[in-house]
Amino acid sequence: MRKLILCAAAALVSTSYAALANDSVLQGQSDPKQWVLQTGDYANTRFSQLDEINKDNVKDLQVAWTFSTGVLRGHEGSPLVVGDVMYVHTPFPNNVFALDLNNDGKILWRYEPKQDPDVIAVMCCDTVYRGLAYADGKLFLHQADTTVVALDAKSGAVLWSVVNGDPSIGETNTATVLPVKDKVIVGISGGEFGVRGSVTAYNMNTGERVWRAYSMGPDEDILVDPEKTTHLGKPVGKDSGLNTWEGDQWKIGGGTTWGWYSYDPEADLVYYGTGNPSTWNPSQRPGDNRWSMTIMARNPDTGMASWFYQMTPHDEWDYDGINEMILSDQEINGEMRKVLVHFDRNGFAYTMDRLSGELLVAEKYDPVVNWATHVEMDKNSDQYGRPQVVAQYSTAQNGEDVNTTGVCPAALGTKDQQPAAFSPRTGLHYVPTNHVCMDYEPFRVSYTAGQPYVGATLSMYPAPDSHGGMGNFIAWDATKGEIVWSLPEQFSVWSGALATAGDVVFYGTLEGYLKAVDAKTGELLYRFKTPSGIIGNVMTYEHNGKQYVGILSGVGGWAGIGLAAGLTNPNDGLGAVGGYAALSDYTSLGGQLTVFALPN
Amino acid sequence: MRKLILCAAAALVSTSYAALANDSVLQGQSDPKQWVLQTGDYANTRFSQLDEINKDNVKDLQVAWTFSTGVLRGHEGSPLVVGDVMYVHTPFPNNVFALDLNNDGKILWRYEPKQDPDVIAVMCCDTVYRGLAYADGKLFLHQADTTVVALDAKSGAVLWSVVNGDPSIGETNTATVLPVKDKVIVGISGGEFGVRGSVTAYNMNTGERVWRAYSMGPDEDILVDPEKTTHLGKPVGKDSGLNTWEGDQWKIGGGTTWGWYSYDPEADLVYYGTGNPSTWNPSQRPGDNRWSMTIMARNPDTGMASWFYQMTPHDEWDYDGINEMILSDQEINGEMRKVLVHFDRNGFAYTMDRLSGELLVAEKYDPVVNWATHVEMDKNSDQYGRPQVVAQYSTAQNGEDVNTTGVCPAALGTKDQQPAAFSPRTGLHYVPTNHVCMDYEPFRVSYTAGQPYVGATLSMYPAPDSHGGMGNFIAWDATKGEIVWSLPEQFSVWSGALATAGDVVFYGTLEGYLKAVDAKTGELLYRFKTPSGIIGNVMTYEHNGKQYVGILSGVGGWAGIGLAAGLTNPNDGLGAVGGYAALSDYTSLGGQLTVFALPN
Ligand SMILES: O=C(O)c1cc(C(=O)O)c2c(n1)C(=O)C(=O)c1cc(C(=O)O)[nH]c1-2
Ligand SMILES: O=C(O)c1cc(C(=O)O)c2c(n1)C(=O)C(=O)c1cc(C(=O)O)[nH]c1-2
């Protein structure tokens, strides 16, 4: 079987676009023994061809070995496996370990960056880090303080390092980087500090900056061609990143880029989403606030935008649009389409033509979503592609200092950063979701560089009149926009899913369970209580002919911020502390890797 | 089988001395389903009657569940199990969790004391805590800052609390308490800060202080009867705690009591050992420095001493005498004796009559021990009971500012706090040992309250011309004073052993392995790499008819102080950092419980 896989990998690499992408990444992602990107592959499917562990035997899974990272607080992302070495990262201070899989996880090297701990104070949602990326013998680390470091994967030696942003004005990093061709593409965080979001490409070999594309501002800053870059099929026109803002608000406009990145080697387009406009008080920023809350398709060599789609114009709820774009081929209305599927914070799941940016499907993936009735799909309507906002839940219409209650989803969305998986075998997407609603009271706030620029008081609670829990794990048909099955969870599922050729889907829970369910039916096949709550993403690899499944535990992230940062006031942690208070009955801070396998 | 055990328990409780001891402890220790004392039982055997896991099936052991304590640094001691509840403690800040074994370890309550973190600076050997004790529905917590707290085991409510010492003069706590009769008996740490050691009894129900026995000072302070309290069969005589000291040095004389406590309900005697005399520079304290380095047998009601035995008069190497006393019946020279067996830091294992304090056997339990040739066993010799010091290794004879090299064992002894186990089935003791030697250079130091009062520079290294490792795990015949088998280990075995009726012996390693070996042969039967280095003690319990084995991971303690406190200078950490530097290639800080069981 190993041979077959290698052949398949070779086949992929030899296609015409191979050289355009990055040979080592393509080779790595098509070799299921390895896990070279946080997202599993460029397409962000988080699907593995490994099938030794399958739906019939997964019940026999055992813990094979474990590793403590030596750091507490929220552990997002997952380890990588390249050859016989596993690379494990930690939240701030962003330590990196290289573990020898041939020697019981012996530590081959560690890299422990020295960072000013002041950066912690300007990280909105815990000191998380979504992990390393591997390409061309290098590991790319993007530290909380925005230092991008290329490490020699063999020795851990620093090959180059470059500073992407400035924590003193609230710029930080939590995202992984995307290695594509000879570049690494990196994002930035700080939407709650009035940071103007951007994406930057650095030369993979030298660290030299190649281009930067801001989310808002003049055309030359946001890298659009007013005639050729489109929004829902129409050119964006001149000054599109300026003319939906009042005055200079765009300069502190948010639209940060702290989520996931995908890449289509054939189309040669990179996909990502931008975050909320700043501040959270919508009255302070009239207009659509382009291009916050937007899916972007860009050329990786130049940064030039091919198309945009703004999901939540003039956000009033903090529904950052940064969630991953999962690339697949799907039959829509009888026609095979190259699509991207995106589960937005705003509660709608979008299926789009990833070449043209055409909107194909937009449906709620949690029935409780109530802030909008639907997304207008009539191409002839002036509302085309826009969510139809329900006045009752409009924090802008209700105005400043008015508490808008019962908005679903809460600010952390029907899904936040926790990535979904897609199985080409079932054609389904597996989506870790939140089932949480909120009260939201905007207030006037003034901007001071490096200070929180939030402007709203929130409280969160389980979706009322539902199963009482704060999450669901669902299977989604993106061709129709329908939930296929849904598993209620007591807490939001803040962990990334993994789908495998064994027709098993894995995910973690905030209480700390690793769960395995049947990809077709959702039936629970196995669960194990890991040391701490899980906000990491499940990964799998093969070593010495055996399949392993790995998961980082370590409760935190926005949902777990109460535990992670020791907050108890219900409105603290941007409103998340109260809703998730009961988590402390189930788990405690941690930072551990647990690796599972079938018995020998 | 369960029934049988309960009957045995009942039988034990109904013996005449039951009321004299503590009914709940006697009942708990004789019910193998529970683990109510850190030491397993009053006799400190660390033996369990459970035999579902045995030497034939232990190879199939699996991880059943895990729990992160949310605290890093060294995790000594073990959880307790009382009924359906597990109690887990942490190092500083000494948090306590009650976990519901009927509900997947859900947290029933937590107790998180607020302690001044300044105490960390006056803890010599990491922020360790050797754990809780249970009696009469109460859990006894003895915090780093010497606050003794009685918690209601059901609710976690504080029933009483009392302050035993003063961290501002270097008094701290790391030891567990001994609940006996209606008292809890507690020790104190601070031998490296010139603390005058003492043991104190508090009323279990009120926290009222009942008695205190100092290790040195006037007779009324050390609670001796000059005529009736004996040393090797002879009355200690008047002023025994003063007349082997020069001037007032006894007031800052050390002899702290941070180790383990045993109790013989029949003899109604409590046993413990005292630590090193202060300072480590022997030239500053001429004389035998009584009663530092001494095994003490005391009446628990009054504190009055029955007998003493000083193992290392005038210590020159920091060989604290605090290691546990394991109580058993052994046939010595054809006669059954009620003995205590004590593996001293100084490298000699002592078998003594625990009623009379008669010295029966004193032999090296590591052949590399070189500072003394032997312990004089001739009762008629004026050297009776004294180790015969080798001049070359005498740091006193070599004098101040002279580096005495090649002394074996190192200051952390052939064994430190890591407790041994005894199996009545094999008659053997299972001893986690250090195989480390040192260079020791004493220097003059002046006393300032609350400041280190050490007076020696040390470096440590694996025993030369041996197997290259820093530890052995041995089986010991205490009747003959002989090693039966010895397993070399790369690092010191800093974890406490467990022996079971399944003829399996468990221990942990500093790299993080839990190991199970055959009690008869030492053959390795199972090993599993836990998240972090192990300095905790293996325990076992039964729940819902199934046997579990639990171990805390979390590297630290004196051996792991480099990792735990982030020290890299080889002479730092009282000389331990250099010797154990390679540990960082194997493990990282942690704080996790791993619970094992056989597959269902
Ligand atoms: O606007 C931003 O720049 C920004 C950054 C981050 C981040 O970097 O983690 C989060 C968010 N926003 C955010 O809105 C959010 O819900 C969130 C959740 C998490 C997390 O890791 O759990 N991070 C972030
Ligand atoms: O003299 C003292 O008061 C004192 C206290 C302690 C302690 O409380 O942990 C240790 C020691 N000494 C000591 O000598 C020693 O080797 C040691 C090892 C450890 C440990 O937990 O690893 N503690 C201590």
pLDDT band for A119, please (50, 70, 90 cuts): very high
Residue range A578-594, pLDDT digits in tens = 999 999 999 999 999 99
CA distances from B211 to A187, A358, B81, B183, B195 (A): 65, 83, 30, 10, 18
By Cβ distance, the residue of B67, B553, B585 closest to A106 is: B585
Per DSSP, the residues of A19-38 read TTS-HHHHHHHH-TT-B-ST
* Angle in degrees, CA B334, B340, B344, rounded to 5: 120
Compute the distance from residue B589 Cα to the ligand 2 centre, in Å: 19
**How far is residue B515's CA from residue B521's CA, in Å, rounded to a whole number?**
14
Residues near A382 by beta carbon (within 8 Å), at least 6 away in sequence: none
CB pairs under 8 A between A and B: 95
Of A126, A318, A320, A477, which is the active-site residue? Answer: A318
A2-13 helix and A23-30 helix, angle to the nearest 10 degrees:
150
pLDDT of the residue at A525: 98
Q: Is position A192 annotated in a ligand binding site?
A: yes
Inform me whether the pLDDT recorded for A321 exceeds 60.
yes
Q: Is position B256 annotated in a ligand binding site?
A: yes
CA distances from B423 to A373, B10, B96, B498 (A): 71, 22, 30, 9
By Cβ distance, the residue of A62, A67, A588 closest to B62 is: A62
Residue B474: how many CB atoms within 10 A of its CB?
Answer: 26
Strand B421-423 versus strand B428-434 pairing type: antiparallel
Sign of CA dihedral B211, B216, B221, B224: positive
pLDDT of the residue at B13: 39
pLDDT of the residue at A4: 35
Evaluate: CB of B131 within 6 angstroms of ligand 2.
no
pLDDT of the residue at A377: 98
CA-nearest residue to A563 within chain B is B70
Number of residues in chain A:
600
CA-nearest residue to A65 within chain B is B529
Q: Look at A530 and B105 and tell me if their CB atoms are within 8 Å.
A: no
* Angle in degrees, CA A318, A322, A325, rounded to 5: 140
Mean pLDDT of A427-435: 98
Q: Is position B318 annotated in a ligand binding site?
A: yes
Inform me whether the pLDDT recorded for A7 exceeds 60.
no
| Partners of residue B531 in chain A, C-beta under 8 Å | 66-68, 531, 592-593
Query: Number of helices and strands (H, E) in chain B?
Result: 6, 40
Under 8 Å between Cβ of A390 and A397: no
By Cβ distance, the residue of A62, A529, A588 closest to B70 is: A588
For residue B318, give the ligand 2 atom closest to its CA: 14
For residue A535, give the ligand 1 atom closest to its CA: 22
Q: Look at A529 and B593 and tell me if their CB atoms are within 8 Å.
A: no
pLDDT of the residue at B20: 62
| Partners of residue A586 in chain B, C-beta under 8 Å | 106-107
pLDDT band for A459, please (50, 70, 90 cuts): very high
Q: Which ligand is nearest to the CA of A176?
A: 1
pLDDT in tens, chain B (600 residues): 333 333 333 333 334 444 467 889 999 999 999 999 999 999 999 999 999 999 999 999 999 999 999 999 999 999 999 999 999 999 999 999 999 999 999 999 999 999 999 999 999 999 999 999 999 999 999 999 999 999 999 999 999 999 999 999 999 999 999 999 999 999 999 999 999 999 999 999 999 999 999 999 999 999 999 999 999 999 999 999 999 999 999 999 999 999 999 999 999 999 999 999 999 999 999 999 999 999 999 999 999 999 999 999 999 999 999 999 999 999 999 999 999 999 999 999 999 999 999 999 999 999 999 999 999 999 999 999 999 999 999 999 999 999 999 999 999 999 999 999 999 999 999 999 999 999 999 999 999 999 999 999 999 999 999 999 999 999 999 999 999 999 999 999 999 999 999 999 999 999 999 999 999 999 999 999 999 999 999 999 999 999 999 999 999 999 999 999 999 999 999 999 999 999 999 999 999 999 999 998
Nearest CA of chain B to the CA of A109: how many Å? 8
Q: What is the DSSP letter of A551?
A: E
| Partners of residue A93 in chain B, C-beta under 8 Å | none
Residue range A563-581, pLDDT digits in tens = 999 999 999 999 999 999 9
Mean pLDDT of A411-415: 98
Write out the E strands in B436-562.
436-442, 456-462, 471-477, 482-489, 498-500, 504-508, 513-518, 524-529, 539-543, 546-553
Nearest CA to ligand 2 atom 20: B557
Q: Is position A276 annotated in a ligand binding site?
A: yes
Within 6 A (CB) of ligand 1 lie A 76, 124-125, 128, 174, 189-192, 256, 258, 275-276, 318, 320, 412, 416-417, 557-558
By Cβ distance, the residue of A105, A110, A532 closest to B68 is: A532
Nearest CA of chain A to the CA of B592: how many Å? 7
Evaluate: CB of B263 within 6 angstroms of ligand 2.
no
Evaluate: CB of B489 within 6 angstroms of ligand 2.
no
Q: Look at B66 and A594 and tell me if their CB atoms are within 8 Å.
A: yes
Rounded to whole angstroms, the maximal C-alpha distance in chain A is 66
Structural domains of chain A sorted by starting position, each given as residue range(s) with its CATH number in brackets: 28-597 (2.140.10.10)
Residue range A67-111, pLDDT digits in tens = 999 999 999 999 999 999 999 999 999 999 999 999 999 999 999
Q: Which ligand is nearest to the CA of A575?
A: 1
Nearest CA to ligand 2 atom 23: B125
pLDDT of the residue at A1: 33
Which helix (H) or strand (E) covers residue B190, if one does? none
Which helix (H) or strand (E) covers residue B340, if one does? strand B335-343
Q: Is position B376 annotated in a ligand binding site?
A: no
Tokens for B219?
């007779």
Inform me whether the pLDDT recorded for A18 exceeds 90.
no
Q: What is the ipTM of this complex?
A: 0.94
Nearest CA to ligand 2 atom 2: B191
For residue B256, give the ligand 2 atom closest to its CA: 3
Of B41, B126, B315, B318, which is the active-site residue? Answer: B318
Q: Look at A72 and B69 and tell me if their CB atoms are within 8 Å.
A: no
CA-nearest residue to B582 within chain A is A107
pLDDT of the residue at B22: 87
Write out the E strands in A130-215.
133-135, 138-142, 147-152, 158-163, 178-180, 183-186, 198-203, 209-214
For residue A128, give the ligand 1 atom closest to its CA: 21
* Angle in degrees, CA A389, A360, A12, rounded to 5: 135
pLDDT band for A22, please (50, 70, 90 cuts): confident
Q: Is position A219 annotated in a ligand binding site?
A: no
CA-nearest residue to B90 within chain A is A588
CA-nearest residue to B564 within chain A is A70
Interface of A with B (CB under 8 A): 62-63, 65-70, 72, 97, 104-107, 110, 528-532, 553-554, 584-594, 599
Q: Is A318 assigned a catalytic role?
A: yes
For residue A557, give the ligand 1 atom closest to its CA: 22
**How far is residue A555's CA from residue A541's CA, in Å, rounded to a whole number?**
24
Interface of B with A (CB under 8 A): 62-63, 65-70, 72, 97, 104-107, 110, 528-532, 553-554, 584-594, 599
Report the residue of A97, A583, A592 to disrupt the B interface, i.e. the one with the largest count of B CBs within 10 Å. A592
To 10 degrees, the CA torsion angle through A241, A245, A251, A255? -60
